[in-house]
Amino acid sequence: MGDKETGSGGNRLKRQLIDGSYRQKKPWSHCWFQVLLLLCVVLFILCYTLSNSSLSRWENYPLHEQYRRFFSQPNQDNQTPFYQAYATHRVKTNEILETAEIPNVPATAPSTIPVIIPPTVPPSGIQYHQAYARNYHFIMDNTEVCKTKSPFLVLMVPVAPNDVAARDAIRQTWGKDSKVQGEVVLTLFMLGSSRGADVGQVQEELKRENLQHRDLIQSDFMDTYLNLTIKTMVIMEWLVTRCPTAAYAMKIDSDMFLNIDNLLIMLQTPGIPKQRYLTGMLMWNRPVVRSKDSKWYVPEEMYSKPTYPTYTLGMGYVFSNDLPVKLVEVSKSVKPFNIEDAYIGVCMEKLGLAPTSPPNPSQFKAYSTKYDRCEYSKIITYILGSSEELVRYWTDLKKPGPPC
């Protein structure tokens, strides 16, 4: 230690000079170091505060709470969770693009499919599909069908892409005839886009099916139970843009028995309105389901009122073909929710319109306990359990001899 402390005389003097110089400069440099350290601490606190403030503002948006609930909600009845159904999914053939499920991440999509941010969603928040039909694009179409036939009635059937059995059963029964009671009737199937590893194979099979029957319409929304509102509004958009000359249209589910003759007789009844007309099985004062255990669950953030306006049950409702353009336009200002028939009722209310009771309300039936030929000869709709039932009941109803 003595050598290090003392050293030679020259070195000792140099060390004293250096040490002395260091001791004289140290207070200034130390002061600057403290100032820089203090600035760093202040900047860190400021950034942390702003970050917490932004998070708090995000958490105050109703949709944040809504999506937090759906992210944690278990899958019910093997259906797609609500957040998956309404998160922005853009689909082209053989390609699925999922976008904007994380806040502050801009959505991206092919230039042919623009992303439209709904006005009801904060600009930096989670995007979800609006019911507004023009957010979507047809990827399979039959644009000429209404030009060549000019139908009196168009039957639009929402069906899953892989449900070939349902489509074939309808083609053999109530969708078979292109002319009923002297009027041209057109039957078309509305599909969304499938997903999964076999999506390419599904699309090829759909193309072949459409080449054979020319009755498939497909759009680029995800085909899920919880996207039925979107599916219904895309049906309306197709009627507006592809079939404006039809007099009437009917949205009818693929599991329905439809006595098409009785429906045409009803529409030909004197006094049936040709405009602003919507009829079917009417639902009055139906409460909104708030139980998360139900597949009809609708949170208050989606629809705040305790009851729905009067609407027609979605199994099958008939409308004059002037309504679709009105419904599509008003849907831009009506927040979507997953109960498609009630959503149409809300849109009608927004338009200042209401559904009309059919001339004979007993013709629009829901579930049938058993088949009765006489009964089925009088009704317009019944919900069935399978495609096999549809073919069997239709064959029996159409056999020779009086039904009653």
pLDDT of residue 4: 38
> Using an 8 Å Cβ cutoff, are 185 and 260 in contact?
yes
pLDDT of residue 274: 97
> Using an 8 Å Cβ cutoff, are 258 and 251 in contact?
no
pLDDT digits (tens, 9 = 90+) for 331-344: 999 999 999 999 99
Tokens standing for residue 135: 């957010």
Tokens standing for residue 345: 């009722």
Distance between CA atoms of residues 155 and 181, nearest Å: 15
b/e sequence 63-75, b meaning 16+ C-beta within 10 Å: bbebbeebeeeee
Q: Is the pLDDT of residue 66 over 90?
A: no
pLDDT digits (tens, 9 = 90+) for 153-175: 999 999 999 999 999 999 999 99
pLDDT of residue 61: 36
| Section 363-377 average pLDDT | 94
pLDDT of residue 123: 33
Which strand (E) or helix (H) includes residue 202?
A: helix 199-213
Strand partners, 84: none
- Looking at residue 269, the DSSP 8-state letter turns out to be S
What's the pLDDT band for 3 if we cut at 50, 70, 90? very low
Higher pLDDT, 165 or 49: 165
Higher pLDDT, 57 or 223: 223
What's the pLDDT band for 30 if we cut at 50, 70, 90? low
Alpha carbon distances (Å) from 132 to 81, 89, 118, 324, 335:
21, 15, 9, 12, 9
Residue 43, sorted as left (phi over 0), alpha (psi -120 to 50) or beta, turns out to be alpha
Cα Rg of the chain (Å, integer):
32
Tokens standing for residue 218: 């497909």
Q: Is the pLDDT of residue 80 over 50?
A: no
The percent of residues above 90 in pLDDT, for the chain, comes to: 63
Fold type of domain 133-397: Spore Coat Polysaccharide Biosynthesis Protein SpsA; Chain A (3.90.550)
Can you say how many angstroms the Cα of residue 284 is from the centroid of all Cα atoms in its chain? Answer: 24
pLDDT of residue 122: 33
Q: In the Cβ-directed half-sphere of 352, how many Cα atoms lie within 13 Å?
A: 0
| Section 146-151 average pLDDT | 90
| Section 236-250 average pLDDT | 97
Distance between CA atoms of residues 64 and 62, nearest Å: 5
Distance between CA atoms of residues 380 and 377, nearest Å: 8
Phi, psi of 389 (to 5 degrees): -60, -45
Q: Is the pLDDT of residue 208 over 70?
A: yes
Alpha carbon distances (Å) from 228 to 192, 235, 278, 347, 383:
9, 10, 19, 15, 17
Distance between CA atoms of residues 230 and 2, nearest Å: 89
Give pTM, 2 decimals.
0.71
Sheet with 381-383: list strands edge to edge: 256-258, 381-383, 364-367
Tokens 């002395």, located at residue: 20
pLDDT of residue 350: 97
